[in-house]
Structure 1
């Protein structure tokens, strides 16, 4: 039996087998300590670099915060300044509107002494003032001497040969009176004066450009209101419809 057991063990032994080394052989202690020290140093260096970068980022964020705070303060100050300026602008706009209205009213007041004559044939070398005074003697019962002392200046508007007169349309004439009563009398009686019909001329009130444009816009409204039986009139720069003021805008 011993011989059989011995022979069976020998049969199981592989005599050609060569032992293989372990894949991770154990390193010596001093080598492990050296590698651990190197790893620790590398980790410490990486931590220091990361810390430095974080510090830089924090400083950059603080700089942004300071800039944002400064911008916020400046924006607040600018908003306050803008509010003050808006108030000043509003006051200036109101003052400007009042001044414009005052100037317009002053211009209207001055023009109330004027009349425009439309349709008088234009002649070379004419004495416009004397021609107009001769016509006025047939409109109102005043002598030539009285009218010469009352009529201030007389002149045609624009230059001869302008596009406005290219169709041989005579230029309008501005008559400036020294007395408002005489001007109003001429304006009233010219509407039925025979001389105006015979010479195909007519008198008009002297309005500013702005007032003429306003009247052109408002005239259709006045006509429509009159068709409806309402009291409607054109004034200087506005209309009155049933005692209610209507502006062109």
Structure 2
């Protein structure tokens, strides 16, 4: 056996004697290591599982949020459509209101104009009726009888009131009739329509302070339209009060005067 076969023995021998008799450290024997790949694989599986769980939760949350956003978006779209329709409707209504306002203003102007025309027409009709009644006189207090000849009675009465007139009373009187409904306790008034206005005015003058009228208990008056009679009724208390105070108070048509000054109701 050669010396090379026991080199390790020499090394061990020399280690024992090296350094002045000190023993040197024996050669290091490599330790048995754990497989690194196996440890890394176990840790990666756990992390992967945790990551997958977290990712799944996040994805589920995102999906739910997305669904909620979709629902909200759909609702917002519906609301937007409704608002658009309402806006269109409001725009149309605003245009209609503006148009109706314009029409209303025009109608108000037309109505105002028509009212003015109606008022003017009424006044014209009243004036025409007033003018026509200036040929008439009323007799108040003339007793009414059954089957009377009211024209003959009035002609006889006028002949006594105006015996010296230069015309025939029968020719100057056109029509004579009573007005209103017949009542048993009160005599109706009599309307006399004359042919000529000058004859009517002369009779009207002669009836003032006439003894025949006082004896018969009758009174002649102007034939006025209802509105003028109502105005006179309202003025009568003032006229009567003025007459009681010995003031000059009188009527001229529907108007009242005290000491030549017009009075109002």
Instruction: Give the TM-score of the pair, scaled to structure 2.
Output: 0.73
Cα deviations by residue, 1:75-115 (Å, 9 ceiling, x for unpaired): 11111111111111111111111100000011111111111
Residues 51 and 228 from structure 1, CA distance in 2 versus in 1: closer, same or farther, beyond 3 angstroms? farther
Q: Structure 2: how far apart are the matches of 1:217 and 1:180?
A: 28
- Gaps of at least 5 residues in structure 1 are 1-24
1:52-91 correspondence runs (5 A) = 52-91=74-113
**Structure 1 segment 1-249 matched on structure 2, within 5 A:** 28-142=50-164, 146-161=168-183, 166=184, 168-222=185-239, 233-240=250-257
| Structure 1 residue 65: Cα displacement | 1.7
Match of 1:15 in 2: none
Q: Hey, what does 1:16 align to over in structure 2?
A: none
Whichever of the two has the greater Rg, that structure is 2
Change (3 A) 1:171 1:144: farther
Unaligned runs of 5+ in 2: 1-45
Moved more, 214-223 or 236-245: 236-245
Equivalenced residues, count? 219
Cα deviation, 1:199-238, whole Å, max 9, x if unaligned, reads 1111111111111001111233445677899876433334
Q: How large is the Cα RMSD of the aligned pairs? A: 2.8
Q: Deviations over 1:1-30 (max 9, x none)?
A: xxxxxxxxxxxxxxxxxxxxxxxx986333
- TM-score of the pair, normalised by structure 1: 0.77
Q: Give the SS at the match of 1:174.
A: strand
Instruction: Measure the CA separation in 2 of the matches of 1:207 and 1:100.
Output: 16
Corresponding residue of 1:11:
none
Q: CA deviation at 1:239?
A: 3.7
